Amino acid sequence: RIVYVNGTYLPEAEATVSVFDRGFLMADGVYEVTSVLDGKLIDFDGHAARLTRSLAELDMTPPMARDELLAVHRELVARNAITDGMIYLQITRGNPGDRSFTFPDPETTPCTVVMFTQSKPGLADDPAAKAGIRVISIPDQRWGRRDIKTVQLLYPSMGKMAALAAGVDDAWFVEDGKVTEGTSNNAYIVKNRKIITRELSSDILHGITRAAVLRFAAEAQMEVEERSFTIDEAKGADEAFITSASAFVTPVVEVDGAAVGDGKPGQVATRLREIYLEESR
Ligand code: PDD
């Protein structure tokens, strides 16, 4: 693989970042994941806009403008001959040359920018995603600024491991009795044909796929209500699903051991997946 590090394209084996990098020592950095289908970037502008916001919320200086970012994404797709897959982008507060709790001066310590590709042939036709996934619920013990897409992914990783240990696919986080989101996706239920998903706040990541899917749902005259819901409501729902840049729209067929609806992917989720993939490609 050819990866990108601070302005240079090089083979992954030659790519290095300092041991003093604040991304490594402090999880002081943000990231984005953008899908590629048929060589085309999906929702690039949404991801670029959210990146700008994440950086601003952390007082980090954007290392490059949107057009330059797009050029690097395209260059990596070309150099790695990616048809279907993902581009991962990470920007950290750089290498101040020592460990310290204070932020370094951005004039003397530039951000570290890393980008790489992950090839996933047939990404949009993943049979597991079409068949639906099973989730368990676990307490949301992440920090309170989940609207910033930081690289602090230890708790979500623990959630994913807990799900796999329980023999299911993923976990939904619950806080104050309500579902916040999945380990790496936004969560939805459907009741009486109404799509219900938590309202935007600092409790959840403002999903780029979420924004697109809610727009397509509205255009297709589907009813949408943005509010939080409980695990009991999810168990009694007609359908459930998740969205993310890598999962697109993926039905959820079981929550904490209870079948959702008839235990098969629902009509609304299946239709939204088709619309999203058609409209975004
Ligand atoms: N995760 N919520 C969380 C906690 C996420 O990590 C993600 C994305 C989403 C969905 O956002 P979007 O639709 O913009 O991808 C919601 C990415 C895909 C990841 O960490 O791999």
Tens digit of each residue's pLDDT (9 = 90 or more) over 68-91:
999 999 999 999 999 999 999 999
**Residue 26, CA distances (Å) to 80, 102, 144 in order:** 31, 11, 17
How far from chain centre, in Å, is Cα 49?
A: 14
Given a cut of 90, whether residue 216 has pLDDT beyond it is yes
**pLDDT tens digit sequence for 219-248:** 999 999 999 999 999 999 999 999 999 999
172-176 average pLDDT score = 99
Residue 196 has pLDDT above 90, yes or no: yes
Which atom of ligand 1 lies closest to the CA of 245?
15
The DSSP secondary-structure symbol of 34 reads E
Say whether pLDDT at 10 is over 90: yes
From CA 155, how far away is CA 184, in angstroms rounded?
11
Neighbours of 199 (CB within 10 A): 10
Whether the CB of 244 sits within 6 Å of ligand 1: yes
User: Among 76, 156, 85, 82, which residue's Cα sits nearest to residue 126?
Assistant: 85
CATH architecture of the domain 2-121 equals 2-Layer Sandwich (3.30)
CB of 35 closer than 6 angstroms to any ligand 1 atom: no
**Tally of CA atoms within 13 A in the half-sphere of 69 that contains its CB:** 25
Q: What is the pLDDT of residues 153-162, one digit of tens each?
A: 999 999 999 9
DSSP string, 169-223: SEEEEEETTEEEEESSSEEEEEETTEEEEPPPSTTS---HHHHHHHHHHHHTT--
Dist CA 62 CA 33 (whole Å): 17
Query: What's the whole-model pTM score?
Result: 0.98
What residue ranges do the domains of the chain occupy? 2-121, 127-280
Residue 44 has pLDDT above 90, yes or no: yes
Question: Any idea what the Cα angle at residue 45 is, between residues 211 and 24, rounded to 5°?
Answer: 95
Q: Confirm whether 149 is a catalytic residue.
A: yes
Looking at residue 159, its pLDDT comes to 98
User: Is the CATH number of domain 127-280 3.20.10.10?
Assistant: yes
pLDDT at 1 over 90: yes
* CA-proximal residue: ligand 1, atom 20 (nearest): 184
Q: What is the pLDDT of residue 242?
A: 98
pLDDT per residue over 101-150, tens digit each? 999 999 999 999 999 999 999 999 999 888 999 999 999 999 999 999 99
ipTM of the assembly? Answer: 0.99
Mean predicted lDDT score pLDDT of the chain: 98
Confirm or reject: Cβ of 184 under 6 Å from ligand 1: yes
The count of other CB atoms within 10 Å of the CB of residue 128 is: 10
